[in-house]
Amino acid sequence: MAGHGAICAVHRGAFRTLLAADPTPEDCLAYFQRFEIAFEAAARAKIARKQIAIGTNLHLTSRDIARKLLEAGQIGSGELP
């Protein structure tokens, strides 16, 4: 995560939920690239909410990402809140 000095991971299972399918690694990367702003917003929100220390790795769940997609009105299918 830029500015946080740590790795922010998203498990393939989160993508499976968000895409409502069993995604390939390429599908996951394409989805991330399409909604990168929402992923970054989800990471910032989780860091703030959980008070994650600088340099501490974190992972995003499908719920973390779906919240930001819903806020931006970008979710069309997959996980609902």
- DSSP sequence for 30-65: HHHHHTHHHHHHHHHHHHHHHTPPTT--EEE-HHHH
Cα–Cα distance for residue pair 44/2, rounded to 1 Å? 10
pLDDT value of position 20? 95
The predicted structure's pLDDT at residue 19: 95
Residues 43-80: pLDDT tens digits? 999 999 999 999 999 999 999 999 999 887 755 555 44
pTM of the model: 0.83
What is the distance between the alpha carbons of residues 49 and 79, in angstroms, rounded to a whole number? Answer: 21
Give per-residue pLDDT as tens, 8-46: 999 999 999 999 999 999 999 999 999 999 999 999 999
